[in-house]
Amino acid sequence: MTGTRRVALTVNGRAIDVEIAPHHTLLDVLRDDIGLTGSKSCCLVGECGACTVLVGDRSVDACLVLGSEAEGWTVTTVEGLATGRDLHPLQAAFLATGAAQCGFCIPGQLMAAAELLGHTPHPTRAQIQDGLAGNYCRCAGYDQIFEAVELAAEQLAAREPAAEGAR
Amino acid sequence: MSGVGDSPARVGGIDRVTGRQVYVADLRLDRVLHAKLVTVDAARARIVSIDTTAALALPGVRLVLTAADLPQPVARFG
């Protein structure tokens, strides 16, 4: 086996220092080197979005990034959305609207939705569709997914009445 | 009748939205063999013979399976 590379990054708030095979993508690092299998390995060509994670506050297809490129990055995966035992409003909303059928696309949908709400806290349905355009759902549960994002946006807005009043 | 009109919690829903749900590809088992499917790169062909000698000689190859290893006559499915 050819040599390994050391990569140090932050994943879901934890400092990670790991030896990886040089050809490993960030997705491989998350799933195989760290053991976070929430992000899914699917098309591996950046089309389906099942591997969507956040780097800082931007969504990224982890299959399109080499592990060694992620040196020093701050990555959030679906496993990092909840706070302890409290679900993120997006997760609660996805449950409430029945957005998860087989569930395979859901981690990616959640991370894409998290990015969207981060920069567009009150998205229209069209903005939600656009924001999640990079995430396929073969169960075709799109309507429930979009409803969930709308519901989560309402919940998040309701949590911050002071901020709302300031607008 | 109970159930009609209810909105029960989706079985396994929490696991799906937290990434805890384990799909087959997420399984990590010790000491697994990895299978590689070898296909014919011809649109239409008659397989005359399959020589597995070189493949079996490769380090790490534990088994090469061909139709010859199936019970004869080969069972028809469906």
pLDDT at residue number B8 = 83
Averaged over A61-89, what is the pLDDT? 97
pLDDT at residue number A166 = 42
Residue A136 has pLDDT above 80, yes or no: yes
CB-closest option in A77, A79, A98 to B10: A98
Neighbour-count burial of A150, counting CB atoms closer than 10 A to its CB (0-12 exposed, 13-18 middle, 19+ buried): middle
pLDDT in tens, A72-84: 999 999 999 999 9
Tokens 């491989």 -> residue: A28
Preferred mutation among A31, A95, A111 to probe B, highest tally of B CBs within 10 A: A95
pLDDT at residue number A167 = 40
pLDDT in tens, A50-59: 999 999 999 9
Token pair in block for residue A80: 């990092």
pLDDT at residue number A1 = 53
Tokens 């506050």 -> residue: A57
- CA A35/CA A3 separation, integer angstroms: 21
CB pairs under 8 A between A and B: 51
- CA A123/CA A58 separation, integer angstroms: 17
B20 close contact with A: CB closer than 8 A: yes
Q: Which amino acid is at B22?
A: V
